[in-house]
Structure 1
Amino acid sequence: MASYRRISIDEARGILGADTSPLVIDVRDPASFEKGHIEKALRVDLTNLEGVLKETPKTTPVLIYCYHGNSSQAYAKAFSAAEFTDVYSMDGGYEEWHKAESRANATPIEEAPPVEGLSDALEAFLKEHGYPKGGVNAVTPQDLMTPLMRAAHLKAKPIVAELLQAGARVDASNNDQNQALWLACVGDDPEIVDMIIAAGADLNHANINGSTPLMYAASAGKAQALARLLAAGADLDYQVDGFSAIDMASTLECLNMMREAKRQAKAAKAAAGK
């Protein structure tokens, strides 16, 4: 019986770049697939697996991926059992694929346009964390973190304020697709959260796992950040795999805040309909 091979992200790129026309199969849930997938991938689950096995020629190379590289192996075994000759399961799954693609497409740190006239304190911060002089929108290659993300995480309020004034982008994403607002929620400083929201941050930006800053704040018990997100109108109804931020609340304080926000939104809607 034919067997499948576990391959790395780089090996998967090689297969996709070859003239072999592989069948690329994504075995994640529909919502994750819609948020992002490898080009020309076909989403497969137990409801359509049998049809794909029957309709695909056995000589077609098959590249299968999931979230992290575990579930894809079970599907790879099914294709091997059906006597497909070239079956591959991608280690690391879509999460590692996406991180690798983000790193490959990021502006190299040395090419980030410098900004003149920054304070000594900000230049010292940039140097300390591996950014070039004036590199307001530079990124570190290993994690794609910007100075704004790092300052927000560290609760460096004056640095955050100057970065924003100097044109730091609030829509840049790191290799987990988290933006500065998410990192501000990690720091849980309400003033920093407010500053980044005021600068135009997307309240409902979803990261690689589909989670929003509101979901993170609720699940991590970051009550101060949660309060600012709710005040700014973050979406309480957004769901991932059927779960909303309210379902993810880790503390009673966070749960009660979101329940009250839902109550107020419902009351406002009812009043507007009168």
Structure 2
Amino acid sequence: MSKVVLITGGSSGIGKSIGEFLIEKGFVVYGTSRNPERYPESKFPLLKLDVKDLASIRAAVEAIIEKQGKLDVLINNAGAGITGPIEEIPEAEIKANFETNFFGPINVIKAVLPHMRSQQSGLIINTTSIAGYMGLPYRGVYSASKGALELITEAFRMELKPFNIHMTNVAPGDFATNIAAGRYHAPLLDNSPYKATYGKTLELMNAHVDSGSDPNIMAKAVFKIIQAKSPKVHYKVGEFMQKFSIVLKRILPDTVYEKLLMNHYKL
């Protein structure tokens, strides 16, 4: 029987690419969106789901179980970007980002676990970010939310091993998607002490996304993870230097690595 896959945030970008690729490989795919009616051209069904709304999570999962009788793979892909000087980002926006990037995936996981446990099988893939391995200037909240998801996955996967449920992280670098358009930007204030440095960093971040890699690279990586008998704890997908930056952080003195980052962002 074909594996049944649920992809949160499947209406565009990486989620859409993963879903379309998996359909070609014979999987039964369901995506989610807060507004699925806006995407009538989707090549796979989109269920209404907001990762900040527990009722919508439960309804989407139950709809799949009712129709398919099982759920083999969850891909926690829905996420939100956020930029700005940490001092100037409203607390409500910081909490909202963690609700989407951290608590949201956890709540979706909690909704699928009883079904996977009854099947005595399942795979959960959490989409994090290479940014989650380091505190990046003016992306500190995003780095923290994705880093938190990386760490909790390490603990979660050990708790799930007795039930034959696998969990892993896949951390993408910069990909050509619409994430920049959807993220929260702290306004560039004329009287801000961060105006010059934040402005330059914002331009650089947007340029990285605009020139990012093809999302199909992520789709192929996720397919390989699904095929793996024993998925690793962490996967990184991106340009060589993006992945190598994680290695450098591990081997260089903290202050040296910090200086490299500051030079990169022209701070």
Identify whether the pair has TM-score above 0.5, normalized to the shorter chain: no
Structure number with larger C-alpha Rg: 1
Give the structure with the higher percent strand. Answer: 2
Q: TM-score, normalised by structure 1?
A: 0.29
Give the structure with the higher percent helix. Answer: 2
Q: TM-score, normalised by structure 2?
A: 0.29
Higher RCO (C-alpha 8 Å, min separation 6): 2
